Amino acid sequence: MKVGYLGPRGTFSEEAASRCFKRQDVQLVAFPTIIDVLEEVQSGLIDKAVVPIENTYEGSITMAVDSLAASPDLFVQGEITMAISQNLLGVEEAELADIKEVWSIPAALAQCRKFIRERRLLTRSFDSTVSAATEVKKQDRRDVGAIASEWAAKQLGLRILAGNIQDSSENHTRFVVVTKGQQFLAAPKKTMLQVVPSQEHIGVLSNIAHVFASLNLNLSWIESRPTKTKLGTYQFYLDVEAGLEDKRMAKALSILRILDNKVRVLGSYVTIDDPDWTENDENLE
């Protein structure tokens, strides 16, 4: 089985994919963008994808949301949430006191602003944490470090000079496992929906949310995105804390459609906190 992820090697996405499928015989395949990896699932060239969809700091990953919705056959089968720990990586001979400049993506640099400011370090932006770490390794400079993951350090043979340097310990990213066609795992606990109102009116989102509240269904994620058809018109993406087989979900979908909303089920899946979740779930194979 081939599982795609947002590359290059050493990214948090590779780590998430590895955790999800480490009990199975899979080939992990890196792709340069989220769009690329999801298109490969849609085309059937790979079996599944693991992509980030939400982060504590950045909010929803809109590229993932839009790409998922734009592909008619994609279906969210599972999710895993990972704590994102940022680390200062250097070459083997480097010490923390040697570092004068740090390299990483803008988001990672922003997450470690306090660490950088206190040490008065210069910064340089790269297109990924791994490309920054790779360049540190390549240049073999003791005065430069990269902000990246422990996973990247292991993959590239770099030394962790300082760990957990992010400003907040509550930095998490939610990744989803995406497949082609509606493939359900046993007893899904959440359902992802795309809801497109037939027309814009005052209280449109409130009316949609009220449908779920009246059925005692919690919405754990709400994202609004442009319909891309007319300026000022929006569609909504929702995570509902109930599986698709739940009778309340069936009633909610029926009511939304009666109210003239276009509704698409983007996934019905299990929420994973334990990285070993796949070992007892043969449906992932």
Are 79 and 207 in a shared domain? Answer: yes
CA distance linking residue 282 with residue 148, whole number of Å:
33
Q: Is the pLDDT of residue 272 over 60?
A: yes
Give yes or no for a cis peptide into 8 (omega within 30° of 0): yes
Reduced to 3 states (helix: H, G, I; strand: E, B; else coil), residue 55 is: strand
- 167 within some domain: no
Are 214 and 129 in a shared domain? Answer: no
Are 70 and 198 in a shared domain? Answer: yes
Q: Which helix (H) or strand (E) holds 262?
A: strand 261-272
Are 225 and 128 in a shared domain? Answer: no
Q: Which residue has the tokens 């993951």?
A: 149
Last-in-domain residue among 162, 181, 215: 162
pLDDT confidence of residue 27: 92
For the entire predicted model, the pTM comes to: 0.81
- 57 within some domain: yes
Backbone torsion region of residue 115, taken as left when φ is above 0, otherwise alpha when ψ lies between -120 and 50, otherwise beta: alpha
Are 139 and 177 in a shared domain? Answer: no
Last-in-domain residue among 142, 162, 182: 162
Q: Is the pLDDT of residue 117 over 90?
A: yes
- Give the torsion through C-alpha atoms of 123, 127, 131, 132, to 10 deg: 10
CA distance linking residue 129 with residue 106, whole number of Å:
9
Instruction: Identify which has the larger pLDDT, 266 or 188.
Output: 266
Are 179 and 148 in a shared domain? Answer: no
Are 102 and 187 in a shared domain? Answer: no
**CATH code of the domain in which 101 resides:** 3.40.190.10
CA distance linking residue 19 with residue 5, whole number of Å:
12
Tell me, what amino acid is at 199?
Q
With a CB cutoff of 8 Å and minimum separation 6, the contacts of 105 are: 125, 126, 127, 128, 129, 132
Q: Which residues of 35-67 are buried (b: 16+ CB within 10 A; e: fewer)?
A: bebbbbbbeeebbbbbbbbbbbbeebbebbbbb
For range 90-118, the mean pLDDT: 94
Are 247 and 187 in a shared domain? Answer: yes
What's the total number of domains in the chain? 2
Q: Is the pLDDT of residue 244 over 50?
A: yes
Are 184 and 279 in a shared domain? Answer: yes
Last-in-domain residue among 141, 162, 183: 162
Are 255 and 216 in a shared domain? Answer: yes
Are 76 and 189 in a shared domain? Answer: yes
Whole-number percent of the chain with pLDDT over 70: 95
Are 105 and 92 in a shared domain? Answer: yes
Per the prediction, the chain carries an average pLDDT of 89
Kindly give the residue spans of alpha helices, DSSP state H, lying in the chain.
12-21, 34-43, 62-70, 106-111, 113-118, 129-139, 150-156, 204-214, 247-258
**What residues make up the domain containing 129?**
87-162
In tens, the pLDDT along 147-156 reads: 999 989 998 9
